[in-house]
Chains A and B, each alone.
Chain A
Amino acid sequence: MTTRQIHSSSTAPAVRPGSTPPAPPAPAAQPGLERRRWSGRSRKDFLVFLAMALPNLVLIGTFTYWPLINNIYYSTLDWTLGSASATVVGLQNYITFFTSEDAAKVLGTTAVFTLVTVGGSMVLGLLVALALNSKVPGTTFARSAVFAPYVLSGVGVGLVWLFIFDPGYGVLAWILRGLGQQSPQWINDPQLSLVMVIIVYVWKNLGYCAVVYLAGLQSLPRDVMEAAALDGANSVRRFFNVSLPLLSPTTFFLLITTMLSSLQAFDLIRIMTPLGNGTSTLIYEAYLQAFGAYNRAGYSAAISVILFAILLIITVLQLRFVERKVHYS
């Protein structure tokens, strides 16, 4: 071991090509040797890094980045999914979308669904967080309970609520009958379908907002809260004038994350309203166009690109605002 090392280091200068002076002065040789040893280690690190990180990076590149580029390309094609040939039509798919009735309907549905689900889960989430923040025993259990729907399968949850909303045999119809009312046609009426999906979506997601808001409430500076209480502000005023402004970073964070996930909501819409009648948001329309009845791959890709552009704008806004708005204390 030792001999081999000595051997290799003594032969190394001789092996090196050409013009090396036969006997370099000792002080100059020292840093050279150092650097060679260092670069050997760093070459090894280089390989170690690649061995560890490359598989993941290649997968992310292939299935996350490459599709983005492909999507843009596909969106310029007139292409039936499964067909071997496609014609390049430039921006025609985008023009078709924005000049058809689809655009107003789909964008309107997306806007209503996103705004109501974001507003609903944030307001209700904050109310639940305030309840969870009280100092009574049992809040730990309640916190887990309200968070639970967030981790459950959207398909399972959608079916359970579809049964509850069933106009014939659902619990809701039964309650309404007790009140002398007829159950609305949740499934057949496009507007009511949207209301139904929104209610279930808020039910599933408000626990997330509640837990994030609770963390925010619990990290409020205690001295400020106590000072406000000593000033004689009642709890409602304390909430609106002190807590809520101090919570603005949390509110902003939730606004962005819930908006992004509402724009991507798919499972509930698919299971509760498969035809997308009144509930077809951008993501669902992109799915329907390619994988529903139509097989319009190019058109679907164009809708995906529009959705991605919207998501990108929101993300960039977040990054722009995050530095300005989020600092406190």
Chain B
Amino acid sequence: MSAPLPVAVVSPDVDAPQGRPRPLSRANLLQTVATGYVPLILATLAVFLPLLWMLLSSFKQPGEIVTMDLRILPESLNLQNYVTAMTTVPFAQFFANSLIVTVVGSSIKVILAILTAYALVFVRFPFKNVIFVLILVALMVPAQVSILPNYILIAGMGGKNTLWGIILPGLGTAFGTFLLRQHFLTLPPSILEAAEIDGAGHWRRLWQIIVPVSVPSIATVALVTVVSEWNDYIWPLIITDRPETMTLPVGLTLLQNSEGNGAGWGILMAGAVLVIVPILLVFAALQRYIVAGLTQGSVTG
């Protein structure tokens, strides 16, 4: 994981192949900067400047925003916008709701994915291939087209404006099951043989052998699930219309409705910071797993 990177950068003299000059040699410096760094820096800035603008604006007072001459830096690190955002709408409640939905929803989904994938790979059962194909197809069915029927189903069960109503329809996990099944298939059967001789049952084999050696794959599934639960919008938007059970993205929409005039931009940016920054921090810390999980399948086609 934290294995040292190839050291060509650290000791360029030794590794530089003949006929392909080092990128940072004096002769090539200009060309490297022009063709290597300029596009990279442009791309990075294109991502960071809007986010930086969000952060700076979240400290600005209405007078600093509703003005014809743009000021880049806020006059002070004034937290008034955050206070206003949290008192106009129950932001702390939204935050708590998002946290509960994300933690509970993701935990159950990951456990269900582990159990289903283990059963599909290691437990004898007829029609396993049929079941797997049904899971694969479910992976391709977009949640968006199921919104109306699920709304009618959940509302009929009394799940409107409840946290379980937000969590329940998303609990079945085709993505996690698929990803973990593919991983379990790559494990050598020999790691289970000792346990089999030991007489350990499936339950012990799963938690004492399979799970410990699959931590990176499980982390990938968990992180991708956390990110998508936190950002999920269309379903919570439909199933909640009272602030007590809204999640952050839905609450931000509510804030937009009440602060959608020019003077409210600072407050809205404070709200956006509260939605975006937690995921940005998680991503910064664990991006390796998240990128791997979200681009899964690209290599195999």
Contact = CB atoms under 8 A, between A and B. Distances in A.
Contacts of A62: 153, 172
Contacts of B144: 264, 266, 283, 286, 304, 307
A301 interface: yes
Interface stretch (A9-17, A88-96, A108-116, A155-163): A155-163
Interface in A141-199: 141-157, 159-161, 163-164, 166, 168-169, 171, 174, 177
B79 interface: no
Contact of A151 (B39, B124, B168, B290): B290
Interface centre among A67, A68, A174 (most CB of B within 10 A): A67
B123 A68 contact: no
A139 B41 CA distance: 10
A59 B171 contact: yes
A174 to B, nearest CB: 4
Contacts of A57: 116, 131, 134-135, 172
B120 interface: yes
Interface string B29-70: 000100111011001101110110110010000000111101
Interface residues on A, range: 35 or more
A71 B147 CA distance: 9
A159 B170 contact: no
B272 A67 contact: no
A253 B142 contact: no
A169 B124 CA distance: 64
A249 B46 contact: no
Interface stretch (A23-31, A98-106, A209-217, A237-245): A209-217
Contacts of A138: 37, 40
Interface stretch (B185-193, B213-221, B233-241): B233-241
A163 B115 contact: no
B280 A148 contact: yes
Nearest to A157: B276
- Tell me what chain B mostly uses at the interface: helix, strand, loop, or mixed: helix
A137 interface: yes
A253 B298 contact: yes
A5 to B, nearest CB: 14
A153 B279 contact: yes
Nearest to A139: B40
B40 A155 contact: no
A193 B173 CA distance: 35
Contact of B141 (A68, A74, A142, A210): A68
A63 B279 contact: no
Interface of B: 5, 8-9, 23-24, 32, 35-37, 39-40, 43-44, 46-48, 50-51, 53-54, 57, 65-68, 70, 112-113, 115-116, 118-120, 123-125, 131, 134-135, 138, 140-153, 168-174, 177, 202, 227, 230-231, 233-234, 237-238, 248-249, 252-253, 256, 262, 265, 268-269, 271-272, 275-276, 279-280, 283-284, 287, 290-291, 294-295, 297-299, 301
Interface of A: 42, 45-46, 48-49, 52-53, 55-68, 70-71, 74, 127-128, 130-132, 134-157, 159-161, 163-164, 166, 168-169, 171, 174, 177, 203, 207-208, 210-212, 215-216, 219, 249-250, 252-254, 260, 263-264, 266-267, 270-271, 283, 286-287, 290-291, 297, 300-301, 304-305, 307-308, 311, 315, 322, 326
In order of increasing CB-CB distance, the 3 nearest A-B pairs are A59-B172, A131-B39, A67-B146
